[in-house]
Amino acid sequence: MEFRTLGKTGFKVSEVSLGTWQLGGKWGTPFDPKDARDTLEEAYDRGVNFFDTADGYQDGQSEKAVGEFIKNHPDVHYTTKIGRKEVPLDIKHFDPAHLDRYVDESLKNMGTDSLDMVLLHCPPMMNYYMPETFFEMDKLKKAGKIQNYGVSVERVEEGIKALSYDISTVEIIFNMFRLRPADLFFDLAKKNNVGILARVPLASGLLTGKYTADTKFAPEDHRTTNRHGEQFDKGETFSGVDYLTGVKAADELKQRLGTENLAGMALRFILMYDAVSAVIPGASNPTQIERNTTAAELPAFTDEQMQIVRDVYDKYIKNPVEYLW
């Protein structure tokens, strides 16, 4: 495992880290504490030293599992995210009073008196023009309740606006089906010494190349319930790509790249960008960890392979995805 610096935090984090939206069970299934512990242990044993969680994941169970784990592994870094556990999402969830309460609740869940890093969890665009939101995070940092802060964003423009504030990290959707962040935002983040966490790296599984037109998902899985943004921004489900279009694009990527390990190559593709501090694929059980972590060992993409990704993106994905996020 190789390590990269996470922006202003100075943390040396594993370039393949772990997102915990699915920790302890698949989307829409009950939380399994043993699966969660085993998954974290397997990731750690394979060199992963950074976990991404959120106060709303599994009703706080993800935070508690990560918090318990780091007590016995003090060399692990983490971020949690706040502001989205109450629905519907509203700008008031990012006002000073809410932020103070959310941070206190995360401190309790994780069993610590100071959080490594807190990201605002996809605030509405209006919040970026409400400086009191970010100034409150500055106060929480000065008080020692948090060590660093940043934002998780839906759109490139939100990430650019966030650079106006004293953030350490931006978490953004970036994958073979979401190329736009690399066009401008990555350079701006590097100039500001802001780390980048690449989320939704496999486009909700489309980029495993294993789905077909007939694949079915659990009734409570967001891949069933949020294809048109019924619950939250539809860009978080299949990266906003029409499902059948995504299946076709993934099949063509497999064929033109000559691989049956599209998931590994999709993760390795993201690591081709030095602005990316870490990619954070999820894992609902320990067996998925090996698939994720071995991606870092794959050969670098050739110029020809990089062009193949761009060609498939331009053919299937760019219109309308690039214009929406």
d(CA 147, CA 9): 8
Crossing angle (nearest 10°) for helices 33-45 and 61-72: 40
Residue 323 within a domain:
no
Residue 88 within a domain:
yes
Take residue 130 and report the two structure tokens written for it: 């409400």
Average pLDDT over residues 113-140: 98
Residue 9 within a domain:
yes
pLDDT number for residue 30: 84
Instruction: Give percent of the chain above pLDDT 90.
Output: 94
Crossing angle (nearest 10°) for helices 61-72 and 96-110: 50
Residue 209 within a domain:
yes
Non-local (6+) Cβ contacts of 208 within 8 A are: 202, 250, 262, 263, 266
Average pLDDT over residues 122-133: 98
Residue 37 within a domain:
yes
Task: Give Cα 92 to chain centroid, integer Å.
Answer: 23
- Indicate the average pLDDT of the chain: 96
Reply yes or no on whether the pLDDT at 28 is more than 90: no
Task: Give Cα 48 to chain centroid, integer Å.
Answer: 15
pLDDT number for residue 26: 76
Domain assignment of residue 216, given as a range: 3-317
Number of domain units in the chain: 1
pLDDT in tens, 57-76: 999 999 999 999 999 999 99
Contact of 64 with 73, CB cutoff 8 Å: no
With vertex at residue 243, the alpha carbon angle to CA 238 and CA 247, rounded to the nearest 5 degrees, is 100
Residue 278 within a domain:
yes
Reply yes or no on whether the pLDDT at 27 is more than 80: no
CATH code: domain of residue 269: 3.20.20.100
Amino acid (1-letter code) at residue 141: K
pLDDT in tens, 175-231: 999 999 999 999 999 999 999 999 999 999 999 999 999 999 999 899 999 999 999
pLDDT number for residue 45: 97
Reply yes or no on whether the pLDDT at 144 is more than 80: yes
Q: Regarding predicted confidence, which is higher, 242 or 22? A: 242
pLDDT number for residue 22: 84
Non-local (6+) Cβ contacts of 119 within 8 A are: 79, 80, 81, 82, 149, 150, 151, 152, 169, 171
Cβ count within 10 A of residue 85: 18
**Exposed/middle/buried for 192, CB within 10 Å: 0-12, 13-18, 19+?**
middle
Average pLDDT over residues 153-175: 98
Reply yes or no on whether the pLDDT at 173 is more than 80: yes
**DSSP for 193-241?**
T-EEEEESTTGGGGGGT---TT----TTSHHHH-TTSSSS-GGGSGGG-
The closest of 151, 79, 64 to 117, measured between CA atoms, is: 79
Residue 29 within a domain:
yes
pLDDT number for residue 128: 98
Residue 325 within a domain:
no
Reply yes or no on whether the pLDDT at 285 is more than 90: no
Reply yes or no on whether the pLDDT at 25 is more than 80: no
What are the backbone dihedrals phi and psi of residue 228, each rounded to the nearest 5 degrees, phi first? -120, 20
Strands (E), the chain: 3-5, 12-14, 18-19, 50-52, 77-82, 118-121, 149-152, 169-173, 195-199, 278-279
